[in-house]
Every structure is written in C-alpha cells, then in structure tokens.
C-alpha cells in the first residue's frame, strides 16, 4: 500500500510534482500546504485539497504522514521550507518522472526532482532540493549544489558547477566547465560562456552581468 506524502506548495509546480508522485506509485498525496494564500485553506483545487499552511506539520506527522516534498520553484524559499520539514522529522524523497534519464552513478540529495524528459549524465552530482525541470539536461560530471533550479529546457555542458540556490533560466545554455556562483540568476535563453559570480542576475547571448541581486522576485513560482 502506498505511503502518504504531503506536498508543500499549491501552484503549477506542485501540480507537476503531484503527477510525478502519481506515476511513481510509491506515495499517495494527502494534500497540499500553502502559506502564501491563507484564504485557500480547506479549498479544493484541480490537484486536490489545501490542508492549510505549515502549522499543519505536527498534525500530519501525528496522523502518520512521514514524507513531504517542497514543490516551490523559488530557490531560497524551497531551501527554507525543506529545513522546516527536516526539523519536523519528515522524509524528503528523491522524485523522478518515468521519462527522465539518470545515469547509473548519478547521486541526488533528498528533496530533488527530475521532471519529465530531464537527462542527467554520468558522474553528475545533484545536491538536495534541486529541480531539474522539464526537458533540461545536465551533462557528465556537473556539480549542482543544494537548492538549484535548472528551468525547463536549459542545457548544461559537462563539468559545469552551479552554486547553492542559483537559477538557470528557461532554455539557457551553459558551456562546459563554466562555474556559476551561488544565489545567481541566469535569464531565460542566455548563453553562458564564462564563469559568473555569486548573487548576480546575468542574461543575454553571450550572458553578461546585469545587476547584483538581493532577491529575484521576478521568477518566484
Ligand atoms: C532575467 C529576468 C529575471 C529579468 O526580469 P526583469 O528584471 O523583470 O526584466 P524585464 O522583463 O523588466 O526586462 C528588462 C530588460 O531586460 C531584457 N531582458 C529580460 N530578460 C532577458 C533575457 N532573459 N535575455 C535577454 N534580455 C532580457 C528585456 O527585454 C528588457 O529590455 P528593454 O529594457 O530593452 O526592453 C527574466 O527576464 C528571466 O529571464 N527570468 C527567468 C524566467 C524563467 O527561467 N522561468 C522558468 C520557468 S520554469
């Protein structure tokens, strides 16, 4: 019998995660938690029922829900929520869509997901709470630190390093061996040919540093 899992987040990415959970068959989704929209508490939506916010964690644990998954695109928020779930004693599984490809020696930390059509090639190391989104690819020996989001269709050449909490935008291409710092946002469609420092927004072809970012509100999902 499938175990129960609660999904934290109740937006588009949460629907994607719920679908992967359903296809994988190990868990049944008991509901969703949404701290951002208190007015949705108790409501049903397309994907299921919103049980409340993070204050529900204790009740869920005592009712036998042992697993959780953070389905929030924003990297800082995802890492912070994952910390709270870990502290509350939840298991944070690795999820993988059946159409994703993961080489045999790839390591993945807890709470990470390979979405439909994602490809991760040999020797890559994927940290915790990483999203490799729809049809994105991560090539051989890449190192992807905790909390990174590789958005849909992005391509990373071999031996790329992406630092903690960085966002590689929709369809971006990163040349092999490039190092991207932590907390950095690479804009959609960019071509990254050279290393990028921590905490910048960079985009274009080739990508250039546009600003030094404190937050990346424009891509919160
Ligand atoms: C980089 C980004 C964060 C900038 O957002 P922003 O600060 O709101 O920027 P704006 O939309 O106000 O655009 C400012 C200027 O930069 C340009 N620009 C913005 N993003 C760009 C990009 N990715 N590549 C090239 N130019 C870009 C705009 O055309 C605009 O130019 P203009 O002033 O000449 O008209 C955003 O465009 C982006 O790429 N987000 C990533 C989205 C993503 O990956 N989603 C994933 C979903 S899975």
* Greatest extent of the chain over all pairs of C-alpha atoms, in Å: 52
For residues 174 and 172, give the distance between their C-alpha atoms in angstroms, rounded to a whole number.
7
Ligand 1 center to residue 220 CA distance, Å? 13
- The answer to whether 57 touches 84, Cβ cutoff 8 Å, is yes
**Which residues contact residue 2 at a Cβ distance below 8 angstroms, ignoring those fewer than 6 apart?**
25, 26, 27, 28
In whole numbers, what is the pLDDT of the chain averaged over residues? 95
- The answer to whether 91 touches 67, Cβ cutoff 8 Å, is yes
Asked whether the predicted pLDDT for residue 111 surpasses 50, the reply is yes
Asked whether the predicted pLDDT for residue 165 surpasses 50, the reply is yes
Catalytic residue (choose from 13, 140, 161, 212): 140
Ligand 1 center to residue 202 CA distance, Å? 9
pTM (predicted TM-score): 0.96
Give residue-wise pLDDT tens across range 47-94: 789 999 999 999 999 999 999 999 999 999 999 999 999 999 999 999
List, chain by chain if needed, residues with CB within 6 Å of any ligand 1 atom.
133, 151-152, 169-170, 185, 187-190, 201, 203-204, 218-219
- The answer to whether 141 touches 120, Cβ cutoff 8 Å, is no
Nearest of 180, 187, 177 to residue 211 by alpha carbon: 187
Asked whether the predicted pLDDT for residue 220 surpasses 50, the reply is no
């Amino acid at each position: 019998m499938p175990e129960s899992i609660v999904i934290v987040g109740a937006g588009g990415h949460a629907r994607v995660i719920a679908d992967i959970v359903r296809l994988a068959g190990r868990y049944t989704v008991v509901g969703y938690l949404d701290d951002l929209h208190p007015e949705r508490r108790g409501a049903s939506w397309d994907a299921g029922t919103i049980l409340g916010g993070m204050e529900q964690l204790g009740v869920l644990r005592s009712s036998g829900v042992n697993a959780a998954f953070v389905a929030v695109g924003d990297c800082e928020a995802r890492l912070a929520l994952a910390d709270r779930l870990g502290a509350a004693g939840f298991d944070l599984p690795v999820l993988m869509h059946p159409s994703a490809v993961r080489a045999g020696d790839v390591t993945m930390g807890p709470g990470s997901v390979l979405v439909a059509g994602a490809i991760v090639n040999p020797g890559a190391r994927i940290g915790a709470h990483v999203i490799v989104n729809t049809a994105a690819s991560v090539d051989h020996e890449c190192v992807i630190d905790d909390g990174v989001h590789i958005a849909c269709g992005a391509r990373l050449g071999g031996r790329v390093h992406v630092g903690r909490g960085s966002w590689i935008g929709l369809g971006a291409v990163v040349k092999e061996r490039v190092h991207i710092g932590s907390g950095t946002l690479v804009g959609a469609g960019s071509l990254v040919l050279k290393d990028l420092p921590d905490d910048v927004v960079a985009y274009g072809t080739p990508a250039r540093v546009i600003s030094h970012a404190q937050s990346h509100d424009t891509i919160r999902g």
